[in-house]
Structure 1
Amino acid sequence: MSREGSPLGSRLTIAKRELATLKSEKTIVLALVIQLFVAAFSSFLVVGLVSLYDPSGAEGQTVSVGVAGEQRNDLVAIANQQDGVQPIVYDSAADVREGYRNRAIDAALITNQRSDGTIGVEVIAPDAGVESTLVVVSLQETLLEYERYERDQRSQFLDEQPLGVPEAPAGNSYYGFTYTVLVPLLILLPVFISGSLAVDAVTEELERGTLELLAVAPIELREIVDGKLLAAAGLAPVQAALWLVLLEFNGTSVANAPALIAVSGALALAVVSMGIGLALVTADRRQAQFLYSFGILTIAGVTTLLPEHPLNTIAKLAIDSPTATTWTAVVGYLCIGLVALVVVQFAVPRIDVDRLLGSA
């Protein structure tokens, strides 16, 4: 392999070589196809996936609820006014429990008059699965309406009238799912894939012995690493830009696209640098991938301590509602990416190539 006349030419040659080998990586290709499918058909997928994100948005689903107890009549009247809830009256708590055990009903509500004059409601519902989420959301709406009803009925017996509870603002489940789940997914998933790609790119060179051939050529290790970093880290913002174009084509307008692409690129620089560092230190694919996955999980946990989570930053940018904290986070991510790049440039020349090849 020649130097192509300059270190930049060597880096670009290696980057092109890495991108050309992507088609042989079935896992990476499958991940790209899945992302392409999600972005290209987002307007269709959101209709089905929103029922998992917010089950209250799923229309046509009816939850059968058994109701028993002293105050069951008022509760049944309230439940009849709720969409997607079908109340069934039982004579006793034992009967409604038996009906739930026999799966004749999806959930059960048992009311009782307490000694202090308040009304208690015992709720029996599934504790796992998508069905559980749908049932719990439906019951929550019914019980909240029942609470408002009881407060209204008892308000005349109060010495002082409490402040009125404002109505909950109407939300759009599709809007929320798109900008808080779908867009962040399409921005961040390429970043994680790029990091994994970088780990494989370096460790495979070591395991197959091809890095030794590259080292024999008039190319420095730093140029080899830079070429791989350029290919892996550059892939993420290109994907993010493509996904945003497809979302726009499907009618999902995303604001601040340049800032979103910049965030994707900066995070990709940081993650890919971490992956390459782990690959060079361990020189073993499985160990490096394990440490990379553990590192990503650790970073995800640390981000919960930030003033603004990366997912919130991406969502606010996408809906064109960024705050000063949002722009500070964007600048912070850019700085992190640049620092990671500088660290790689500083550390790689100090690696003993002979030791690295010997450990492989």
Structure 2
Amino acid sequence: MSRDGSPWGSRLTIAKRELATLKSEKTIVLALVIQLFVAAFSSFLVVGLVSLYDPGGAEGQTVTVGVSGEQRHDLAAIANQQEGVRPVVYDTGESARQAYRDHAVDAAMIANQRSDGRIQVETIAPDSGVESTLVVVSLQETLMEYERYERDQRSAHLDARPLGVPEVPSENPYYGFTYTVLVPLLVLLPVFISGSLAVDAVTEELERGTLELLAVAPVELREIVDGKLLAAAGLAPVQAALWLVLLSANGTPVANAPALLAVAGALSLAVVSMGIALALVTADRRQAQFLYSFGILTIAGVTTLLPEHPLNTIAKLAIGSPAETTWIAVAGYLCIGLAALVGVQFAVGRVDVDRLLGSA
């Protein structure tokens, strides 16, 4: 409670002050404008961006593949039926490998029959570079079709009739890009911006000496921190809600919007709390921003070890097919957000205001 007896008045006043100063932060404003543009014109942007997400959907690109081995003729016939693939037959495997090394072909496939009757296809493709993804996708489609062909050809020699070769399901790369890339981007990006905003809000107060003026006023440090946290953490779910509305207006329905906003709010609370704690510890803007960025990258790496990645959680919620693990993840994010809030409150209570102001 503040010294004037009002428990929330000073916090709300500081939060309004923080939001009012956002217009002077050109970087933050530019980030908001970019997000607004992406959300407002998502149906238009996805047409161009989907070729980067799914290179298999790009038209006019041809992958030249050197084909060799005992089964080269069947494999070449299958590859010739694939759109965007041009097979070149070589008599020996070494000649196909040499053609790849000489950059005469983009990839090489050497198909030989093993002693147990199975067909082994040695595939050589670039492991890096811009063309790598396109080549790998094209080879994957060719090998899958070749496998289907061989299964169908050998089914007549089996004692029991096997299951029929399943049809290739129709895929919509625009659908996949929208819900696995665009929606998570618009939900998580405001979270990261809010954390950076919180770091700047605290460190600038220390560097400019305005925190000292607030400290001598009838306002406690806890209330100052709460006001800044309220402004920064509350900004992310508000932005996410606006972006989801714009997506729906563009013909992209988003399911489980309340759960998505809860995830955005919980993660924002955790990230902003971390940013404020770093700002109070370092009292230096550059150092705090560096540690904040490093912390975000570390957290992003740790999330890959989770049973369900946050991006998958958001995508499943947006599509409308959440699993049990998805709801467990949502509950976990809420707990993390609340734990971070309690942690920063405890940390602020142990901060020596005089020492903090003296180090700024």
Q: TM-score, length-normalised on structure 1?
A: 0.90
Deviation of 1:285 after TM superposition, in Å, equals 2.0
User: 2:134 is matched with which residue?
Assistant: 134
User: 1:236 is matched with which residue?
Assistant: 236
User: 1:313 is matched with which residue?
Assistant: 313
User: 2:17 is matched with which residue?
Assistant: 17
Give the whole-Å Cα distance in 1 for the aligned partners of 2:84 and 2:159: 37
Question: Residue by residue, what CA displacement relative to the aligned partner does 1:312-333 show, whole Å, maximum 9, x if unpaired?
Answer: 2211211122233323332332
AA paired with 1:275?
G
AA paired with 1:135?
V
Cα distance change on mapping 1:339 and 1:94 into 2, 3 Å: closer
**Relative to structure 2, which stretch is displaced further, 215-224 or 150-159?**
150-159
Deviation of 1:209 after TM superposition, in Å, equals 1.7
User: 1:289 is matched with which residue?
Assistant: 289
**Relative to structure 2, which stretch is displaced further, 95-104 or 310-319?**
95-104
Deviation of 1:7 after TM superposition, in Å, equals 4.4
Cα distance change on mapping 1:118 and 1:336 into 2, 3 Å: closer
Deviation of 1:51 after TM superposition, in Å, equals 2.1
The answer on whether the counterparts of 1:113 and 1:120 sit within 8 Å (CA) in structure 2 is yes
Question: Residue by residue, what CA displacement relative to the aligned partner does 1:321-356 show, whole Å, maximum 9, x if unpaired?
Answer: 223332333233223323322333333233110011
Question: Residue by residue, what CA displacement relative to the aligned partner does 1:205-227 show, whole Å, maximum 9, x if unpaired?
Answer: 11222211211222111111111
Tell me whether 1:57 sits opposite 2:40 in the alignment.
no
AA paired with 1:129?
G
**Relative to structure 2, which stretch is displaced further, 165-174 or 23-32?**
165-174
AA paired with 1:258?
P
Cα distance change on mapping 1:99 and 1:67 into 2, 3 Å: same
Question: Residue by residue, what CA displacement relative to the aligned partner does 1:56-84 show, whole Å, maximum 9, x if unpaired?
Answer: 22233222223234432211211122122
Give the whole-Å Cα distance in 1 for the aligned partners of 2:54 and 2:156: 36
Tell me whether 1:125 sits opposite 2:125 in the alignment.
yes
Give the whole-Å Cα distance in 1 for the aligned partners of 2:118 and 2:306: 42
**Relative to structure 2, which stretch is displaced further, 92-101 or 181-190?**
92-101
Cα distance change on mapping 1:216 and 1:136 into 2, 3 Å: same
The answer on whether the counterparts of 1:3 and 1:10 sit within 8 Å (CA) in structure 2 is no
Deviation of 1:296 after TM superposition, in Å, equals 2.1
User: 1:193 is matched with which residue?
Assistant: 193
AA paired with 1:107?
A
User: 2:272 is matched with which residue?
Assistant: 272
**Relative to structure 2, which stretch is displaced further, 231-240 or 12-21?**
12-21
User: 2:153 is matched with which residue?
Assistant: 153
The answer on whether the counterparts of 1:52 and 1:130 sit within 8 Å (CA) in structure 2 is no
The answer on whether the counterparts of 1:111 and 1:120 sit within 8 Å (CA) in structure 2 is yes
User: 1:323 is matched with which residue?
Assistant: 323
Deviation of 1:3 after TM superposition, in Å, equals 8.5
Cα distance change on mapping 1:306 and 1:95 into 2, 3 Å: closer
Cα distance change on mapping 1:78 and 1:20 into 2, 3 Å: same
Give the whole-Å Cα distance in 2 for the aligned partners of 1:86 and 1:140: 14
User: 1:208 is matched with which residue?
Assistant: 208
User: 1:355 is matched with which residue?
Assistant: 355
Question: Residue by residue, what CA displacement relative to the aligned partner does 1:237-264 show, whole Å, maximum 9, x if unpaired?
Answer: 1110111111111111111212211211
The answer on whether the counterparts of 1:198 and 1:276 sit within 8 Å (CA) in structure 2 is yes
Cα distance change on mapping 1:71 and 1:247 into 2, 3 Å: same
User: 1:173 is matched with which residue?
Assistant: 173
Give the whole-Å Cα distance in 2 for the aligned partners of 1:118 and 1:336: 51
Q: Give the secondary-structure state (helix, strand or coil) at the position aligned to 1:251.
A: coil
Deviation of 1:91 after TM superposition, in Å, equals 4.5
**Relative to structure 2, which stretch is displaced further, 312-321 or 88-97?**
88-97
Give the whole-Å Cα distance in 2 for the aligned partners of 1:95 and 1:314: 48
**Relative to structure 2, which stretch is displaced further, 212-221 or 235-244?**
212-221
Deviation of 1:87 after TM superposition, in Å, equals 1.9
Question: Residue by residue, what CA displacement relative to the aligned partner does 1:143-180 show, whole Å, maximum 9, x if unpaired?
Answer: 22222223333344445555445445333221111111
The answer on whether the counterparts of 1:186 and 1:240 sit within 8 Å (CA) in structure 2 is yes
Give the whole-Å Cα distance in 2 for the aligned partners of 1:141 and 1:234: 46
AA paired with 2:246?
L
Question: Residue by residue, what CA displacement relative to the aligned partner does 1:29-73 show, whole Å, maximum 9, x if unpaired?
Answer: 222222122212211222222222222222332222232344322
User: 1:89 is matched with which residue?
Assistant: 89
The answer on whether the counterparts of 1:4 and 1:10 sit within 8 Å (CA) in structure 2 is no
AA paired with 2:331?
V
Give the whole-Å Cα distance in 2 for the aligned partners of 1:333 and 1:116: 51
Give the whole-Å Cα distance in 2 for the aligned partners of 1:119 and 1:339: 55
Cα distance change on mapping 1:294 and 1:69 into 2, 3 Å: same
User: 1:303 is matched with which residue?
Assistant: 303
Give the whole-Å Cα distance in 2 for the aligned partners of 1:60 and 1:285: 49
What are structure 1's unaligned runs of at least 5 residues?
A: none
Paired residues in the alignment total 359
The answer on whether the counterparts of 1:198 and 1:275 sit within 8 Å (CA) in structure 2 is yes
Give the whole-Å Cα distance in 1 for the aligned partners of 2:72 and 2:345: 71
